[in-house]
Amino acid sequence: MSVAYLGLGSNIGDRDVMLAQAIKRLNGHPSVRVTDVSPLYETDPVGYEDQPPFLNMACRIETSLAPEALLAATLTIERELGRERTVRWGPRTIDIDLLLYDNTTLNTKDLTVPHPRLMERAFVLVPLLDILDNNERDWLPGPAEGSVDAAGVRRWTSNNWPVEFGHSES
């Protein structure tokens, strides 16, 4: 099994519910097991700023899927949850990004791992650092401490969080 970290975000509808649905769908995939989830953070939009604030989080998974197959699975979940790609960095019901996959470096037409903007975005890095295992910190493409300004990243509480993600034992 491989270990991967995903970044998730939502700024349309019931954002926390949408993130919980994404985690449940990830965990429902036969080749994915969610092993940890970060707290939720409310963040200001980046890039295209004329939109509501986002809720962002990260999760750690174990998977037998190769990186490209994991990307395909996350894109399917995004579509199932109503994701429409109309404006770059625009509003979305759900966004799921593959941040890290083992200690793998990959650069193809469709996928770059580690995520190319991981170290530039506090809304990704802050939740990731909450759950990143100490022995996996060397997977980061650079030092995390002091790499981003976390001023626009605010802890957010919800009755719908934390979501239950454990597999039931048979």
Radius of gyration of the chain (CA): 15
Nearest alpha carbon to residue 146 among 127, 165, 131, 125: 125
- The pLDDT assigned to 170 comes to 35
Query: What confidence tens digit (pLDDT) does each residue in 68-94 have?
Result: 999 999 999 999 988 676 666 667 789
Confirm whether pTM is higher than 0.85: yes
- The pLDDT assigned to 169 comes to 41
Helix (H, G, I), strand (E, B) or coil at 148: coil
| Structure tokens that stand for 69 in this block | 């197959």
The total number of structural domains in the chain stands at 1
Whether 97 is a known active-site residue: answer yes
Whether 88 is a known active-site residue: answer no
Which CATH number fits the domain that encloses residue 131? Answer: 3.30.70.560
The chain-wide mean pLDDT, for the chain, equals 86
CA distance readout (Å), 125 to 4, 76, 82, 122: 14, 24, 25, 5
Among 83, 102, 130, 155, the active-site one is 83
Query: What confidence tens digit (pLDDT) does each residue in 122-161 have?
Result: 889 999 999 998 888 888 887 766 656 677 788 888 776 6
Instruction: Tell me if 166 is assigned to some domain.
Output: no
Among 97, 110, 117, 121, the active-site one is 97
